[in-house]
Structures are given as C-alpha cells and as structure tokens.
Amino acid sequence: MDISINQVRRYLYSHHFYSGMRRATGTLLPIMVIGGVFGWYAEGLVATFGALCVAFIDQPGPHEHRAREMLGGALLGGVTVAITGLASSHPLMIWIAVIGQCFFFSMLSVYGKKGGQIGFACLLLMTVTMHSPLSADEVLLHTLTSFGGGLFYSVFSYLVSRVMIMREKEQALSIALFATAEYIARRANMYNLDSDLDTNYRELITCQSDMIEKHQAARDMVLRGLTTETTKKDPRRIMLWNLFVEMIAILDTLVATRTDYALLRKTLEDSDTLIFMRDALHKMSQEIERIALAVSRDRPVRRRSSVKAELRALEYEVQLMQESGLATREPDVYRLCVEILRRLSLNARIVDRMAEYTRGSPGTKPIHSVDINNSLTQFLSRDQFRVGMLTSNLRLDSPICRYALRITLAAGIAMALSTLVPVFARQGFWILLTVLIIMKPGFALTRQRNVFRLLGTLLGCAMAFGILFSVHDQTMLFILMVITTIVGASMIQVNYMAASTLNTTAILMAFHFIDPDSSTIIADRAIDTFVGSVICFVCSYFLPWWESQFMPSLAKAAVMANRTYLQSGIQYLDTRSQSGINPRNPQVGQADLNWRLARKNVHVAFSNFASAFYRMMLEPESHQKHVAEFNNLLIQSHMLASQIAAVLTTLLSMPEPPQSVVRHLSDMLASFGSLNPNDTLKSLPQEILENKYPDLTYPMKQLQRSINQVHQELGAVQS
C-alpha cells in the first residue's frame, strides 16, 4: 500500500501532471470563454484547436526556448490554416495542399524532437481545418481565430512558467533523481545470484540510456540562469545546484566502479558479500527516491534509512577474505571488493548530504565542483534551426526524407479512401489524423505506436460509450471531459496507451457536445482508427530506414567519445602536473571543465548507441545486422567509460602519477585513434604487471582488453 501511495504522490507532483494541467487549462479556456460567455461555440472551438496545436509543442524544458517554439508554432499554424482553408473547397487543391504540407512538415524532423513536435502540431491543425470546406470569406476569420488561440496559449503558458519557474526546475530535477534511483536499483540487481546476468545487463543499459536523457533535461533547467549574483544567493537555487552536482557525483562513482560481475558471482557465490552489496545499493536507491519525492513536493526529507549495517557487514567480509587467504589466491576479486566497499561508503555519504540539502539550511553554500560562471552554458542543449539542415536532407538516402515520403504516401491513401469510398467520405479526416499520429521515422516505433494507438482507441471508445450511456447530467459530463483531458495530456510521456485511451474518451465526449444527436460517432471512430492502423502497417514497409543503417556511425561515435574522454583526462593530468593542483588556476580549471564535458558526451553517445541498438532488436530479424558485434561493442563502450574513469580517478588522486602509466595511456590513445583492427597495443608497463600499483592493475588490464576488442568489432562491422 505504501508503494502505491508513493506512486500516486510521484505522479501528482511530477512535471507530467503539472504540464498536463497547464496544457489542458490553456486549451480549454478559449472555448469556455468564447463559447460559454459570448455563445460563439464554433469560433471558440476553432480557437481551442489553435491552442491545442501549440500545446503539443509545449513540452517540459527551458521556458525561453518554449516561448520561441510556441510562437513559431502559432505562426506556422496560422499559415497552415490559411492554406488548408483556401484549398478546402476545391477537390484538387485540397489534395495538393494536404500532400505538400505532409511532406514539408514531416521534413521538420531534421531539427530533432522539437522540430517533429512543431511539424505534427501543424499537421494536426491541417487535419481539423479540412473537416468542413470554407468559403474565401470564412478563411480569414478562421485563420485569425486559430492564430489567436495559439497566441493566447503561448502567452498563457509563458506567464504560468514564469510564475512557476522554480517548481519546474524542481520537477525536472526530481525526474532525474527518480531515474538515478532506478539506475542504482538496476545496478543492485547485478549482484543478485538468482537473476540472469545478461538480462540484468540489458535492463541496466536501457535504464542508463533513459537516465542520461533525464539528466540532460535537468541540466538544461537547473544550470540555466544560475550565473547571476541574485540566483547564486537564492537558497532554493543553491539546493538544486548542490543536489544536481551530488547526483552527477553518484553517477561518476558508479560508472567508475570497475565491476566484473561474472567473476564476483563465480568466486563469491557461497558468500554473503554479494547480498550486502545488493542490499546497500537497494537502500540507497530507496533513499534517493525519497529525496526526489521531497524535491518534487518542495519539502525536506523526513523518513531516512541507513546503510551502515550493510557497510559494516561488508567490511567484515573483506576482513575475512584477507584472513582466509583469498586476497592472495584471488587478488583481483579482493581488490574489486575493497573498491566496491570504498565506492559504496562514498555514495552513502553523498546521499546523506543530499538529504540534508533538502532542508534548505540558511548557511548552505553552493558546491564549487565547477565554478558557477558562464562556462556552464557548454553543458546545455542547443537547438539549431538552419535552413541548410532542411535542404541538405532532400535526398533519397536521408532517413528523414524517406520518412516524409512514407507519411505522404500514407496520407495520400487516407485521402483516396475518403474520396473514393462513400462510407469514409464524412469522417475521412479521422483516418488521416490516425495516420499522422501513428507514423514515426523508425519502423519499430511506428509498429509500437500502431498497437498502442489501436488498443487505446478501442478502450477509449468503450470508456466513452460507458460514460455517455450511464451519465446524463451535462455538467458532470463536462467535468469528466476536463478530467480525462488533463490526465490524458499528462500521460503522453508516461504511458502512451493510457494517454491514447483517455484522449480518445475526451475527444468523443467533446464531439458529443458538438453533435449530441449523433448515434454512430463512437463506432465511426473505432472503424476509422482500425483503417488508419492498417494503412500505417502497410506503408511502414515503403522506403524504410532500418536502424542497422545507423548503427556503424553510432558505434563509432560512442568509441570516439571514449577516445576524447581519455584524451581530455590525459591533458588534465599533464596540466595539473605542470601548473599545480590548485583548481583556481585557469589552465587547471579549463582542463577540468574539458574533462567533465567529455564525460557528459560519453554518456550521451553511449545512450544514443544503446537506444538505436535496442530499437534494431525490435525490427524484423532479416534487417538486424551484426547483432553479436554491436552487442559486444555496446558492452565494451560501457566498459571503456568505466575503466577510463577508474584509471584517471586513481591517477588524479596520486601526488605523483607514475609516468610509465601515463605514457602507456598516451600510446593507447594513439592506437585508439587509428581504429585499425590490425593494431595491437604494447604490453602493459612492468610496474602494472608486477602489481606495484594495486588500484591500477585491474582497470589498466581491462582498459587494454576493451580497446583491443573495440578494434576487432569495429573492423568486423565496417568490413
């Protein structure tokens, strides 16, 4: 019961529910005011659709960016309504308008996620505009009303975001903290002897990919606007900054833990050591969940848990290893356990500090792991909207161009059905709308959306039928429509099928208010959605772009990001040895910043590679290429980041890093850059082979082995 209550709290205080409330309110206000106050329900509905177009663009993120995107979407939406409205009364012109706009707005996906959202919003507005033919005199009023609705929503959302700016930052950070807690729980499962190691590892990588995306979203919110003198003294901003820095520190310590789980399971299967490691991580995961919930609610952490018992038990187990001679028989296992104990103790202290930060003590100071200055902008996401990006993708070997042609074909088939088949003539726009919602650039995502959309629509039709059959009070129906609109809007990023179910219910109830005498509207929607799903399934095989075509470049990008990470670490070592360890030294500070940027880029590149690999695994087997090689590259990329972090962290902690090791790292870097499968690295320095530096022996061996395997696998997939 406690878990379900926490899940409800997590949802109610999340940015998903908050943004769903904002979008639903901003969308419904035009029709409530224009229709309810002035009685102009038709005009109010047009304004509401204009607001809905912009609401699709209004996703969580920096409100300055959202304002520009929403205004651009409102302007493009107005142009869309004008073009579609002028063509709506001419059979040939409406065909040209729909086909042309489908291709153009689908091409906006070259600008990434935001571009795709703007394109979809405009296509949605095009679809609802073509529902009824407009005369030339009506087009101007229709366009201005729709643009006014979009402009109203843009201003409304911007003002609400300005007022709630700190809540949005807290919510973004809490989502990242929840993702971090989930990642730690997945790491804990790696120590569970009762579970399959390969399955756990796949789940860990998928979880890490999701966590990296949420960390970047939090980074964009928390670090933005932090450099002014006022915000540097704001207790809430200091708390968010400190929590974010500590969250990244936890990630670093986990990634830098050079864990050979197979070796640990084999050697310590009869010991309780793995149980203590697992339980310590599970407790830390639960504690970070409490911290995340406290941040989302703007409250301090009340209930606490401690891992002291697990850490003491682990210390005892390590002591027994030494007394029983295991430290001599299995030195790698012993050092690994010592390192894990050290990392767990460090993480426990970090978690304790994070819980204290939520109390917002007046004397709390910002952590100076990186100076709070304009250099922080280098960690933020940058959206580029250049015309050249669009024109350079107008070629058949561009996946975005193929997607635009694919969705244009599907839209053409939907238009043909509504024109040639009388039964579809009246509601053909719904078939087109289904096509636009389901079709995505990737085959696997389109197929997944197809299933979710179809099931969600059928469930939504059943729910709407039940509500309309059992509830006859119009006020209650309106309240239920508002509730389903809010919850449906908030569930889009959480559970697409649930969102589809609730949004279908809300739309059918809205159509009931528009045309209460219609008796076939629910059945029509179900049939139209089924037809649209079939069209999407067939067209998904037209000019497909399989994920395997992306994989070589993504794999190489992940490997090269690791190379840059290693290079920046070596440069950091050299700069510190030449300039001293003082972090206030400009050269040392810049080298430290470059290393942290490289570390962030490693995580992003690995996340992109992992996401594409698992999407490929959802595609037909005939289009899955070099699965074993890419899987091994994925593992080795993960290992590379861990070993590079472990080696460099150890070297940076030494007063005088051994030059032989630093020189060998430089040799690794040179070989790493060639990516030649025939290149082999020199043998490790004698000091490493003789175990003169115990903390470096294992990670150096693993790093060398990973680089050699990366060369071999890249050669295999590129041959």
Reported as a single tens digit per residue, the pLDDT across 149-159 is: 889 998 898 88
Range of weakest confidence among 554-563, 575-584, 637-646: 575-584
Residue range of the domain that includes 257: 173-187+199-221+234-361
pLDDT at 522 exceeding the cut of 50: yes
Q: Are residues 521 and 552 in the same domain?
A: no
Which candidate, 593, 589, 595, places its Cα nearest to that of 569? 595
Q: Are residues 521 and 553 in the same domain?
A: no
DSSP string, 94-138: HHHHHHHHHHHHHHGGGGHHHHHHHHHHHHHHHHHHTTS---HHH
Query: Which carries the bigger pLDDT value, residue 410 or residue 521?
Result: 410
**What is the number of H-type helices and E-type strands within the chain?**
29, 0
Q: Are residues 16 and 159 in the same domain?
A: yes
Q: How far apart are CA 585 and CA 591, in angstroms?
A: 10
Q: Is residue 367 part of a domain?
A: no
User: Which helix (DSSP H) or strand (DSSP E) does residue 7 occupy?
Assistant: helix 2-12
Q: What is the mean pLDDT of residues 243-258?
A: 76
Q: What is the mean pLDDT of residues 345-360?
A: 85
Amino acid 580: pLDDT: 58
Q: What is the mean pLDDT of residues 70-89?
A: 88
Last residue of a domain, one of 341, 361, 381: 361
Q: Are residues 88 and 208 in the same domain?
A: no
Amino acid 687: pLDDT: 74
Calculate the average pLDDT of the chain: 78
Query: Which carries the bigger pLDDT value, residue 457 or residue 2?
Result: 457
Degrees (nearest 5) of the Cα angle 513, 514, 516? 60
Degrees (nearest 5) of the Cα angle 8, 13, 19? 115
Q: Which regions of 541-607 does DSSP assign to beta strands (E)?
A: none
Q: Is residue 390 part of a domain?
A: no
Q: Are residues 538 and 602 in the same domain?
A: no
Q: How far apart are CA 709 and CA 110, in angstroms?
A: 34
CA distances from 213 to 217, 226, 603 (A): 6, 21, 9
Residue type, 135: S
> 55-70 pLDDT, tens per residue?
888 876 666 777 888 8
Q: Are residues 83 and 180 in the same domain?
A: no
673: Cβ–Cβ under 8 A, 6 or more apart, which residues?
Answer: 563
Degrees (nearest 5) of the Cα angle 357, 363, 369? 60
The answer to whether the Cα torsion of 298, 303, 308, 310 is positive or negative is negative
> 121-161 pLDDT, tens per residue?
888 888 888 877 788 778 888 888 889 888 999 889 888 88
Amino acid 375: pLDDT: 45
DSSP string, 168-194: HHHHHHHHHHHHHHHHHHHHHHTT-TT
Q: Are residues 146 and 13 in the same domain?
A: yes
The answer to whether the Cα torsion of 97, 100, 104, 107 is positive or negative is positive
CATH of the domain at 592: 1.20.1420
Query: End-to-end CA distance of the chain, in Å?
Result: 55
Amino acid 130: pLDDT: 81
For 481, what's the count of Cα atoms within 13 Å in the CB-facing half-sphere? 20
The answer to whether the Cα torsion of 534, 513, 476, 124 is positive or negative is positive
Amino acid 222: pLDDT: 74
Write the DSSP symbol of residue 518: -
587: Cβ–Cβ under 8 A, 6 or more apart, which residues?
Answer: 575, 578, 579
372: Cβ–Cβ under 8 A, 6 or more apart, which residues?
Answer: 226, 227, 232, 241, 366
Q: Are residues 182 and 141 in the same domain?
A: no
For 626, what's the count of Cα atoms within 13 Å in the CB-facing half-sphere? 21
Q: How many domains, in total, are found in the chain?
A: 4
Last residue of a domain, one of 337, 361, 385: 361
Tell me if 277 sits within 8 A of 665, measured CB to CB. Answer: no
Q: Are residues 609 and 660 in the same domain?
A: yes
Q: Is residue 120 part of a domain?
A: yes
Q: How far apart are CA 181 and CA 188, in angstroms?
A: 11
Percentage of the chain surpassing pLDDT 90?
1
Q: Are residues 18 and 138 in the same domain?
A: yes
Residue type, 203: E
Q: Are residues 438 and 582 in the same domain?
A: no
Query: Which carries the bigger pLDDT value, residue 492 or residue 52?
Result: 52
> 415-462 pLDDT, tens per residue?
888 878 776 766 667 788 888 887 777 777 777 777 777 787 788 888
Q: Is residue 524 part of a domain?
A: yes
Percentage of the chain surpassing pLDDT 70?
85
526: Cβ–Cβ under 8 A, 6 or more apart, which residues?
Answer: 457, 458, 461
Q: Is residue 371 part of a domain?
A: no
Q: Is residue 374 part of a domain?
A: no
Amino acid 224: pLDDT: 67
Q: What is the crossing angle of helices 586-616 and 627-653, to 10°?
A: 160
| Confidence label for 383 from pLDDT (cuts 50, 70 and 90) | low
DSSP string, 307-361: -HHHHHHHHHHHHHHHHHTHHHH-HHHHHHHHHHHHHHHHHHHHHHHHHHHTT--
**Residue given tokens 């050979």 in the structure block:** 260
707: Cβ–Cβ under 8 A, 6 or more apart, which residues?
Answer: 640, 668, 671, 672, 681
Amino acid 611: pLDDT: 81
Q: Is residue 69 part of a domain?
A: yes
**Residue given tokens 């082999």 in the structure block:** 680
Q: Is residue 418 part of a domain?
A: yes
Degrees (nearest 5) of the Cα angle 317, 313, 638? 75
Both structure tokens of 380: 């933020």
| Confidence label for 595 from pLDDT (cuts 50, 70 and 90) | confident
| Confidence label for 255 from pLDDT (cuts 50, 70 and 90) | low
Alpha helices (runs of H) in 190-234, residue ranges in sequence order: 197-222, 229-232
Q: Are residues 299 and 320 in the same domain?
A: yes
Q: Residue-wise over 157-180: b if at least 16 C-beta within 10 A, else e?
A: bbebbeeeeebbbbbbbbbbbbbb
Q: What is the mean pLDDT of residues 593-616?
A: 82
Amino acid 581: pLDDT: 55
Residue type, 559: V
pTM (2 decimals)?
0.77
Amino acid 516: pLDDT: 64
Amino acid 3: pLDDT: 46
Amino acid 377: pLDDT: 52
Tell me if 509 sits within 8 A of 477, measured CB to CB. Answer: yes
Q: How far apart are CA 274 and CA 318, in angstroms?
A: 11
